């Protein structure tokens, strides 16, 4: 048994969207057995552009029943039935939200007549309700009113049921393991099913083939499905506009981050928040106090300031400074990793030689600071970061040359990494952006032991 549902709303986004009209048609064994429709008082003003579309005005609904008054009847009308709608992932969350406002739970199995129509009537130019009814010669009266649209959807559903393959397709969609009801209305199931459960980036495309969103994932299939379960306004609109999904495997999360940043910069997808120019936020500074002792300290980087080294976040800056202290025997107190103490005792930095306890001359300590600063200016000609490949027979490498990201490649697992020339032929050149600089800097600070240093040969 099925209930065909259509609603009209205030159009105030998914969380502020209130129902202004609802219509329900019960269908049993392919026959309409009962119907119900009513205006609904949304307890707010109806925007003029919605009135222009539906003809429903604030005055018309002022004396209409509240949804809480209609909820018992709607619950009973749809009990033990499948919730059917054209683009069900729009109507169902709004109806569910109205029940939640009343302190009631509402859970029904779902069917989408857009997705059903794509299976049963393949090859049509459009699967909007109006175009479908025109193509299939289904009468549609009172367009953009709940009763008119719900009746047309019920007639469309009857037509689907009567098609030879219709019942089997409906049962397939209702299978508990099927995700058809969750997928966007215009997305072919095959486009989702071919996604691997592996790291990479994915592209959502609209019906014109344009890339409208780029994302990255450790598990592509699981992450993409997460978009379809998200009922936020942005995600619902993204899903309504999605007609195809492409992907590229990366083998690792680090490479997926780099590939995603480059793809967003290249395509500027409308649903990706515009990446603001990322500027270094923190700097490593060096200064000498009145006792002649040289200090190192991390502070916010203000416009025009010059620092020894820049960082994109405070965590990476402190990790770098802690490692610098440990490697060169510096004092955690005079590197401002410990404030308000007279003697250093940092849990991640060994005790210094005694400059904070008066046991080491400032001149000797300052020489260590100079050596530490000199080490920061010594950059290897090329760095290679080995990563997991897309399959067991290969591995990925990320190349950084003179501190600048140069690209990545996938190489045979048995190929040596002793020189740059070993991997040069496999590299895919990539532009360097502030986003990729930030990603790589954070990785290098946290995982210095995973980096290979190669000189020019």
Tokens of 371: 């050596």
What is the Cα 111 distance to its own chain's centre? Answer: 26
CA separation for the pair 52, 47 (Å, rounded) = 9
Q: How many CB atoms lie within 10 A of CB 384?
A: 21
CA distances to 254, 385, 433 from 407, rounded to whole Å, are 13, 11, 12
Distance in angstroms between the alpha carbons of the first and the last residue of the chain? 74
Catalytic residue among 15, 86, 144, 346: 144
- Structural tokens at position 61: 């609904």
> What is the spatial distance between Cα 61 and Cα 41, in angstroms, rounded to a whole number?
5
For residue 413, what are the contacts with CB-CB under 8 A and spacing of at least 6? 389, 392, 393, 394, 395
In angstroms, what CA-CA distances link 130 with 135, 263, 319? 9, 36, 60
H helix runs in 137-232, sequence order: 146-162, 166-174, 189-193, 220-229
DSSP string, 77-99: HHTTSEEEETTHHHHHHHHHHHH
- Give the integer Cα–Cα distance in Å for 332 and 321: 9
Dihedral angle computed from the Cα positions of residues 403, 443, 265 and 429, in that order, rounded to the nearest 10 degrees: 50
* E-assigned strand segments in 331-451: 382-388, 394-401, 404-412, 427-429
Of 452, 397, 387, 391, nearest to 424 by C-alpha is 397
Angle between helices 67-78 and 88-101 (to 10 degrees): 120
Neighbours of 33 (CB within 10 A): 10
Which tokens go with 283?
Answer: 């700097």
Distance of CA 169 to the CA centre of its chain: 31
In angstroms, the CA 62 to CA 71 distance is: 18
Q: Is 144 among the catalytic positions?
A: yes
Residue whose pair of structure tokens reads 């109006």 in the numeric block: 130
Query: For residue 223, with 0-12 CB atoms within 10 Å meaning exposed, 13-18 middle and 19 or more buried, which class applies?
Result: middle
Q: Beta strands 211-217 and 82-85: pairing type?
A: unpaired
Annotated catalytic residues are 144
């Amino acid at each position: 048994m099925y209930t065909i549902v259509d609603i009209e709303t205030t159009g105030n986004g998914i969380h502020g969207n209130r129902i202004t009209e609802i219509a329900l048609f019960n269908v049993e064994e392919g026959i309409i057995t009962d119907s119900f429709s009513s205006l609904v008082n949304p307890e707010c003003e109806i925007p003029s552009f919605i009135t222009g579309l539906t003809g429903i005005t604030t005055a018309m609904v002022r004396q209409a029943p509240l949804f809480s008054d209609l909820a018992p009847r709607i619950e009973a009308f749809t009990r033990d039935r499948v919730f059917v709608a054209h683009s069900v992932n729009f109507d169902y969350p709004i109806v569910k939200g109205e029940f939640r406002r009343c302190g009631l739970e509402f859970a029904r199995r779902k069917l989408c007549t857009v997705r059903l129509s794509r299976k049963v009537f393949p090859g049509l130019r459009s699967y909007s309700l109006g175009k479908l009814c025109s193509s299939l010669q289904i009468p549609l009266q009172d367009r953009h009113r709940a009763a008119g649209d719900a009746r047309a959807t019920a007639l469309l559903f009857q037509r689907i049921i009567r098609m030879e393959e219709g019942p089997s397709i409906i049962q397939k969609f209702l299978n508990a393991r099927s995700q058809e009801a969750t997928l966007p209305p215009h997305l072919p199931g095959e486009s989702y099913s071919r996604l691997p459960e592996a790291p990479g980036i994915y592209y959502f495309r609209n019906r014109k083939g344009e890339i409208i969103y780029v994302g990255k994932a450790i598990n592509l299939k699981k992450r993409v499905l997460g978009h379809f379960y998200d009922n936020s306004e942005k995600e619902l609109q993204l899903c309504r506009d999605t007609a195809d999904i492409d992907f590229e495997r990366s083998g690792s999360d680090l490479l997926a981050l780099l590939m995603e940043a480059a793809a967003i910069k290249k395509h500027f997808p409308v649903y990706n928040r515009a990446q603001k120019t990322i500027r270094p936020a923190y700097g490593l500074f060096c200064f000498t106090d009145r006792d002649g002792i040289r200090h190192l300290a991390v502070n916010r980087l203000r416009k025009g300031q010059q620092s020894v080294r820049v960082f994109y976040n405070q965590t990476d800056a402190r990790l770098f400074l802690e490692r610098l202290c440990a490697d060169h025997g510096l004092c955690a107190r005079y590197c401002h990793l410990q404030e308000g103490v007279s003697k250093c005792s940092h849990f991640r930095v060994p005790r210094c030689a005694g400059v904070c306890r008066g046991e080491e001359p400032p001149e000797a300590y300052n020489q260590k600071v100079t050596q530490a600063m000199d080490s920061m200016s010594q950059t290897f000609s090329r760095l290679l970061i080995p990563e997991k490949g897309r399959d067991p027979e290969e591995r990925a490498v990320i190349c950084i040359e003179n501190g600048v990201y140069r690209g990545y490649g996938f190489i045979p697992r048995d190929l040596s990494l002793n020189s740059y020339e070993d991997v040069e032929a496999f590299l895919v050149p990539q532009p360097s952006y502030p986003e990729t600089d930030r990603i790589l800097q954070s990785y290098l600070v946290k995982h210095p032991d995973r980096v290979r240093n190669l000189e020019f040969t």
